[in-house]
Amino acid sequence: MDTSLNGSGRCLYCHNVFSPEISWQSFIGIGKKKLLCTICESKLEPINMICCNMCGRPIKRKEEISEATNSKDKHNLTTGAKRRPLMASPSPTATIKLPPLFIKSPCHLCFDCQLWKTAPFSSKYPVQHRSLYTYNLFMQELLTKFKYRGDAKLADLFTDELKALTTSIGRIDCVTVIPLTEERLWERGFNQSALLAQAFPWEQLLQRKGSAGKQSKRGRKSRLAVFHDRIFELTKEARERVWKDKCILIIDDIYTTGATIRTAAELFYRKGAADVFSVTVARAVGQFKK
Ligand SMILES: [Zn+2]
Ligand SMILES: [Zn+2]
């Protein structure tokens, strides 16, 4: 709706007018349109450094990472990993927008993921995750504006980058998003994850448990079959589909502990899915801040 405004060089976040740099790519229409002014853009912190292979947590310069001795099967990564220093450090001058890509056999794991893999639940249902940016103060404000003040256009900042982030996954059979509760969806008017997923052919495969009053209409037996501590379930259509050996991508806005995504991923794994991946715009990296 406001594309003409933005085309004339208004920052999508602060709405100040700025002069977009003219490159030959933008001249012939293939370049990425600049949507943020230089000041706002400089407040974004792209995660373009060495990351935990599994959860995508940026790894601090001197932190040691573990190297699993058995990387043949990522579902069965061994503990007692050999430790060695990090090979490279984050480059402050790096201009690469994308964080390290998804890899086939994640072996360099952060401390949390090493702990996670000893938990039966997590070792059985691993989710490889990557985020575009650090969840810093600016990102917090930006996402607040996006989610709670209805500035849905802000999703445009990230849709293409999220898509680019997933290119190394290879085969993806299905893309879905983390659903909101019906109340939240009504208040907000949109699901932010769905807007972020607009560059993908995504489908609504998950729903909050109990939505549409379906829960109460279920027979007792089926109600008991549902785990009460989990917040999502597959939609009716998704329940009827065959998930065996499928690769699924889940899209959300923020990754904090990863619990939300793991809970959603488990539903597909229980149906026989081969791999579940996830991407988000922002990632909390609290304890790694200097
Ligand atoms: Zn700005
Ligand atoms: Zn990790």
Ligand number nearest CA of 63 is 2
Non-local CB neighbours of 262 within 8 Å, separated by 6+ positions: 121, 122, 125, 127
Q: What predicted TM-score, i.e. pTM, was given to this entire model?
A: 0.77
What three-state secondary structure class fits 30? coil
167 Cα to the center of ligand 1, angstroms: 29
The ligand minimizing its distance to the Cα of 10 is 1
CB 170 within 8 A of CB 128: no
Please state, in angstroms and rounded to a whole number, the distance separating the CA atoms of residues 47 and 135: 10
Q: Report CA(18)–ligand 1 centroid distance (Å).
A: 8
Distance from residue 128's CA to the centre of ligand 2 (Å): 9
Render pLDDT for 230-269 as a digit per residue (tens, 0 to 9): 799 999 999 999 999 999 999 999 999 898 999 999 999 9
Q: Do residues 236 and 164 make contact, with C-beta atoms less than 8 angstroms apart? A: no
Q: Which residues surround ligand 2, an ion (CB under 5 A)?
A: 52, 54-55, 57, 110, 113
pLDDT in tens, the chain (290 residues): 444 444 558 899 999 998 766 666 556 666 667 899 999 999 999 998 888 999 999 876 444 444 433 343 344 333 323 323 333 344 444 444 444 588 888 888 888 888 887 877 767 888 999 999 999 999 999 999 998 888 889 999 999 999 999 999 999 999 999 999 888 888 888 999 999 999 999 999 999 987 544 444 555 555 444 444 579 999 999 999 999 999 999 999 999 989 899 999 999 999 999 999 999 999 998 754 43
81-86 own/partner pairs: CB under 8 Å, 24+ apart: 81/109, 81/114, 86/50, 86/59, 86/61, 86/62
Q: How many angstroms separate the alpha carbon of residue 12 from the centre of ligand 1?
A: 7
State the pLDDT at residue 169: 93
Q: What is the pLDDT of residue 4?
A: 42
* Among 36, 155, 182, residue whose Cα is nearest residue 163: 155
Question: Comparing C-alpha atoms, which of 132, 129, 126, 134 is closest to residue 68?
Answer: 126
What pLDDT score does 27 carry?
Answer: 63
pLDDT at 28: 65
Beta bridge partners of 283: 134, 255
How far, in Å, are 115, 120, 203, 282 from residue 190 at the CA level? 36, 36, 15, 19
